């Protein structure tokens, strides 16, 4: 359901108070503003409405009979890309920050919603409405924690801005699309990233302490296409830990319940999506969803090397085998995990097939999580595309 004027306001919920989505809340920030009035229709975890919002954002919902759209959502084009001159300290090569800076300096928008970190803690998110390229660049790199990006929405109306860019992950963008018409903007641009397995700040600490040899010096990390987690440390060194060596038993409850029940990995409602998982190692992956997204990418085209997307390997057996292994919390000894990582990297899925591997593994896990913990939500919360993806696999009865 799309919300239409008149714009109603309610009192923002107090910091730390229980949110309407209860433990499923991803702290997207909507409830920190007077737009909490719309929470029952807008919250991604209370009212799943991806197909309707795709129709609103892209003029059609995804074609479920096209294998690429089933997985990656509505798109006009896809490619692999990297910046000719990467931005130092960005998560990958800094395509997201570059697009945002160009949109601001070329006058396409008056402000950009993005997320910096607090002064005391590099992983504690501090959302801002940036008005200068310096502020945007200070928001580069992932804050791998739930981030209330939408908490700055009230500022937008107060500032009188009419043209805005919002950078965000799927759950933030779903709520944003649902209240888009209430924001009083002439033009809203949305630049999304894929997102999965996010954590609270406390959960992040547990993950770092369980997995890295030096948790206090980690600057950023990523679950890479070579089936290893890459931790970048303050001194520039990279520590690589194979996925198959992760302590799944310890880590089982580390991911936020919202992320364990999310089926919008690829940020279906953004105009343009910049990730990495559908691209060869070292490249970023771009999905242009609509003409607005194309316009945004064109602003930085001359700063990018690009190549077509590729796909090789077969993910299906690896996904099917991972289902009981995850369920039982199987952890391989490190030597075996390393061997397995090397073999899978050589013969395993690559490019778009790697992206499908990651989507399948997470959707099957999340479907089971929902079935066990929120059976009453299963039917309405899982979008049709996710039901079709999950139905390719055999899941345990209970």
Shortest Cβ 228–ligand FAD spacing (Å)? 14
Please tell me whether residue 359 binds ligand FAD under the rule CB under 6 A: no
Interacting residues with ligand FAD between 289 and 348 (CB under 6 A): none
Q: Give the pairing type, strands 111-117 and 163-168.
A: parallel
CA distance 223 to 61: 29
3-state secondary structure of 389: helix
Given ligand SF4, ligand FAD, none, residue 93, with its beta carbon under 5 to 8 Å by kind, binds: ligand FAD
Nearer to ligand FAD by Cβ, of 92 and 363: the residue is 92
Interacting residues with ligand SF4 between 9 and 38 (CB under 6 A): 19-21, 25-28, 30-31
Given ligand FAD, ligand SF4, none, residue 341, with its beta carbon under 5 to 8 Å by kind, binds: none
- The answer to whether 54 and 64 have CB atoms below 8 angstroms apart is no
- The answer to whether 198 and 260 have CB atoms below 8 angstroms apart is no
CA distance 254 to 203: 5
Nearer to ligand SF4 by Cβ, of 43 and 165: the residue is 43
Please tell me whether residue 195 binds ligand SF4 under the rule CB under 6 A: no
Interacting residues with ligand SF4 between 159 and 188 (CB under 6 A): 171, 175
Given ligand FAD, ligand SF4, none, residue 39, with its beta carbon under 5 to 8 Å by kind, binds: ligand SF4
Given ligand FAD, ligand SF4, none, residue 153, with its beta carbon under 5 to 8 Å by kind, binds: none
- The answer to whether 62 and 291 have CB atoms below 8 angstroms apart is no
Interacting residues with ligand FAD between 119 and 178 (CB under 6 A): 125, 139-144, 147, 149, 167-169
Binding mask 262-291 for ligand FAD (x = CB under 6 A): ------------xxxx------xx------
Given ligand FAD, ligand SF4, none, residue 284, with its beta carbon under 5 to 8 Å by kind, binds: ligand FAD
Nearer to ligand FAD by Cβ, of 96 and 352: the residue is 96
Name residues whose C-beta falls within 8 Å of residue 165's C-beta, 6 or more positions apart in sequence: 100, 103, 104, 108, 109, 111, 112, 113, 189, 190, 191
Residue closest to ligand FAD (Cβ): 275
Please tell me whether residue 349 binds ligand FAD under the rule CB under 6 A: no
Given ligand FAD, ligand SF4, none, residue 27, with its beta carbon under 5 to 8 Å by kind, binds: ligand SF4
Shortest Cβ 152–ligand FAD spacing (Å)? 11
Q: Which of 81, 95, 150, 272 touches ligand FAD (CB under 6 A)?
A: 95
Which residue's structure tokens are 């939408």? 150
CA distance 151 to 120: 20
Please tell me whether residue 374 binds ligand SF4 under the rule CB under 6 A: no
Shortest Cβ 200–ligand SF4 spacing (Å)? 13
CA distance 137 to 182: 29
Q: Which of 12, 37, 39, 389 touches ligand SF4 (CB under 6 A)?
A: 39
Given ligand SF4, ligand FAD, none, residue 28, with its beta carbon under 5 to 8 Å by kind, binds: ligand SF4
Ordered alpha helix ranges (H), the chain? 39-42, 50-58, 67-72, 95-105, 133-137, 153-159, 170-179, 201-211, 248-251, 257-260, 291-298, 316-328, 334-347, 352-373, 378-381, 384-390
How far is CA 285 from its chain centroid? 13
CA distance 311 to 354: 8
CA distance 374 to 388: 19
CA distance 228 to 18: 36
């Amino acid at each position: 359901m799309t919300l239409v004027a008149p714009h109603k306001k309610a009192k923002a919920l107090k910091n730390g108070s229980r949110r309407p989505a209860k433990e499923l809340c991803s702290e997207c920030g909507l409830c920190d503003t007077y737009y909490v009035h719309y929470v029952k229709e807008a919250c991604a975890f209370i009212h799943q409405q991806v197909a309707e919002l795709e129709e609103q954002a892209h003029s059609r919902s995804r074609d479920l009979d096209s294998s690429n759209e089933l997985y990656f959502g509505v798109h006009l084009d896809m490619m692999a890309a990297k910046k000719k001159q990467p931005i130092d300290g960005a998560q990958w090569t800094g395509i997201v920050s570059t697009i945002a800076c160009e949109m601001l300096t070329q006058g396409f928008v008056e402000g950009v919603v993005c997320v910096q970190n607090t002064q005391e803690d590099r992983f504690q998110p501090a959302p801002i409405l940036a008005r200068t390229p310096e502020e945007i660049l200070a928001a580069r790199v992932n804050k791998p924690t739930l981030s209330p990006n939408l908490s700055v929405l009230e500022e937008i109306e107060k500032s009188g801005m009419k043209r805005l860019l919002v950078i965000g992950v799927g759950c933030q963008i779903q709520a944003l699309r649902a209240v888009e018409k209430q924001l009083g903007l002439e033009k809203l641009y949305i630049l999304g990233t894929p997102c999965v397995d996010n954590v609270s700040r406390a959960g992040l600490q547990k993950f770092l302490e369980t997995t890295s040899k030096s948790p206090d010096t980690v600057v950023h990390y990523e679950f890479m296409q070579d089936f290893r987690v890459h931790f970048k440390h303050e001194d520039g060194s990279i520590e690589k830990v194979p996925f198959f060596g992760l302590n799944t038993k310890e880590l089982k409850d580390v991911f936020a319940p919202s992320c364990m029940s999310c089926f919008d990995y690829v940020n279906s409602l953004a105009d343009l999506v910049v990730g990495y998982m559908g691209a060869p190692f070292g490249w970023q992956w771009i999905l242009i969803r609509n003409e607005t997204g194309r316009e945004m990418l064109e602003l930085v085209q001359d700063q990018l090397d690009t190549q077509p997307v590729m796909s090789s390997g077969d993910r299906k057996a690896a996904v099917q085998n991972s289902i009981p292994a995850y369920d039982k919390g199987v952890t391989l000894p490190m030597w075996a995990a390393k061997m397995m990582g090397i073999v899978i990297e050589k013969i395993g899925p690559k490019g778009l097939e790697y992206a499908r591997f990651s989507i399948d593994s997470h959707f099957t896990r999340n479907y089971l999580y929902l079935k066990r913990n929120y059976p009453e939500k299963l039917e309405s919360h899982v979008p049709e595309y996710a039901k079709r993806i999950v139905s390719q696999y055999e899941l345990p009865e209970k």
